[in-house]
Amino acid sequence: MIDVRTAGAKGLGVFAKKLIPRGTRIFSERPLLTIHGHDASTLYPAVKLLNTKDRDAFMALSSFRDRELDLMRWSVVLVHTAQNTISSLLHALLGRRGFALLNNRNSLKDHVEALSIFRSNAFNIGPKLGTSLFPRIARINHSCLPNAQGNFHEPLGKFNVHATRDIQADEEVSLNYLLETGALRHVRVDKLSRGYGFDCACPACDMSGKRGMKGEERRVAMHEVLKAFIERPMAGDISDKEAEMETMKAFIELYESEGIAGKELSNLYLKAADISFGMQNLKGALVYAAQAARLDRDTFGEDHPDYRKSLEIVNTFKTVGHKSRTV
């Protein structure tokens, strides 16, 4: 279905070998390494415990480093090394195990390199599950207009990547490294530059093309709608819900006109369903909820709990509608 090959200035990338239909599960991968919170002390020992194949796969991944990040990561490594040295010394003094002083700078350098690779390629799965690295999925490059999305499937213990639209043969598979919020180009470019060390040149960020210019105009217009809603005095009547719905429609229109799908768009449809229900528009609520369920099916897969929740919402609206017709 896919292969990994050169993607120009981006280095390696993942490409479709044949047409990948929307909703296809492209990857389903267990984490190679996981850390919880900001505690990176367990990372390097875990890397050293990997078998040769997995360690080589990990070390072959690219990393973003600059002077500021290097200083910060060296500081982190030195602190953890000092803590481990003290702990090892105390155990040795108590006769629990032998003591070996770590003063090899190459080991520290390897530790920093491992931390840099991990921070540049890992996904934050959430506070409960921590931050994890998936070496095959890490090869997927960024686009602000992605054709795929990744989500963790907790019951399976795997990170799944699904096509959010049809991906043509020889087309590069892409993910959005940022949470899609309708942000303007300069905000996205700054976050990607500081966090990942590259200047995004995807169609949405290329202002020399019509696609990029038109998309930016849509985002600016959407921000004006959002600003008007935020600054609007609350009337305490149905007009508040109507204004909220218009804002939600502006977000949905932006995402769909840009070809953006996935859980962010699904969440907007679910919110629109909730607003419609509050406005006593049960038919509209059902339409929005059904669209959210279709998006979740393609984004998560039919075996994912989030898709099942969407179906439950649709069925709930259907039940309420049936009861209202029989009253």
Same domain, 251 and 167: no
% of the chain with per-residue pLDDT over 90: 64
Residue with token string 């003063």: 103
Residue pair 245/253 in contact (Cβ under 8 Å)? The answer is no
Residue pair 32/48 in contact (Cβ under 8 Å)? The answer is no
Same domain, 120 and 238: no
Same domain, 233 and 170: no
Q: Measuring CA to CA, which residue among 180, 183, 189 is closest to residue 223? A: 183
Same domain, 9 and 140: yes
Same domain, 90 and 209: no
Across all residues in the chain, what is the average pLDDT?
86
pLDDT at 205: 96
Residue pair 181/190 in contact (Cβ under 8 Å)? The answer is no
pTM of the model: 0.84
Same domain, 103 and 189: no
Same domain, 49 and 10: no
What value does the mean pLDDT take over residues 105-125? Answer: 80
pLDDT at 281: 94
Same domain, 116 and 103: yes
Residue pair 262/250 in contact (Cβ under 8 Å)? The answer is no
Give the SS3 label for residue 32.
coil
| Counted domains in the chain | 3
Give the SS3 label for residue 232.
coil
Same domain, 5 and 96: no
Cα three-residue angle 203-181-211, rounded to 5 degrees: 20
Residues of the domain holding 123: 39-127
Same domain, 96 and 230: no
pLDDT at 115: 85
